């Protein structure tokens, strides 16, 4: 059944091996352009993506420093590090946006699928220090840090630590379809 879905969706996985290469501005723009076109409640587009490219060593280091230690080990080799954030309140009326994280997730999925379609590796992460992200990015209180994302060129898995090599080689598994899609 996997062969009947869009190939970049079927192939995408959270990669641990990246090659230390800089992405060109055009490729980075394509990633965020794909994210920009995600659907959102009231068309609020509550996401804001902050990113640093490895060619800006200070900014890149600042974002890497926000990651949990196990993620730093492999993510430091990515081309860009992205922090997704979600705006808590609707611009429309100031009410709480209960769909902000959901919509930011949709935009992130577009970014990840776009990366795969371009032959790039990606890995979204929940393991990062949200308070440190707030400080590093000087985030306003109306934005919630949602995820960290590494994007870059596929690297050599043999460069990984033994523990991460095991993780990288684990089969990509999903719950059975009838467990996630329940007809009523």
Q: What is the mean pLDDT of residues 6-16?
A: 93
pLDDT confidence of 4, banded at 50, 70, 90?
confident
- In the chain the domains, ranked by start, together with CATH numbers, are 20-154 (3.40.109.10)
Measured distance CA(85)–CA(101) in Å, rounded: 8
Measured distance CA(57)–CA(177) in Å, rounded: 43
Q: Check residue 38 and give its pLDDT.
A: 98
Q: How far is CA 171 from the centre of its chain?
A: 21
The answer, yes or no, to whether residue 99 has pLDDT greater than 60, is: yes
Q: How many residues does the chain have?
A: 184
Measured distance CA(22)–CA(17) in Å, rounded: 15
Supply the pTM of this predicted model.
0.95
Higher pLDDT, 2 or 175: 175
Helix, strand and coil in the chain, % to nearest 5:
45, 20, 35
Rg (CA), the chain: 17
Measured distance CA(80)–CA(85) in Å, rounded: 16
């Amino acid at each position: 059944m996997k062969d009947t879905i869009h190939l970049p969706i079927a192939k995408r996985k959270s990669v641990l091996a990246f090659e230390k290469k800089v992405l060109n501005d055009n490729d980075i723009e394509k990633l965020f352009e794909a994210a920009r076109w995600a659907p959102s409640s009231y068309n609020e587009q509550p996401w804001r993506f902050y990113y640093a490219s490895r060619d800006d060593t200070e900014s890149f280091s600042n974002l890497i420093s926000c990651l949990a230690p196990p993620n730093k080990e492999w993510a430091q080799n990515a081309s860009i590090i992205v922090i997704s954030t979600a705006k808590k309140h609707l611009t429309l009326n100031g009410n709480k946006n209960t769909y902000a994280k959901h919509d930011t997730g949709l935009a992130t999925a577009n970014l990840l699928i776009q990366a795969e379609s371009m032959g790039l590796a990606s890995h979204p992460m929940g393991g990062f220090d949200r308070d440190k992200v707030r400080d590093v990015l000087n985030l306003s209180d109306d934005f919630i840090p949602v995820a960290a994302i590494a994007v870059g060129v596929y690297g050599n898995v043999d460069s990984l630590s033994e523990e991460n090599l095991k993780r990288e080689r684990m089969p990509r598994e999903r719950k059975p379809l009838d467990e996630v899609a329940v007809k009523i």
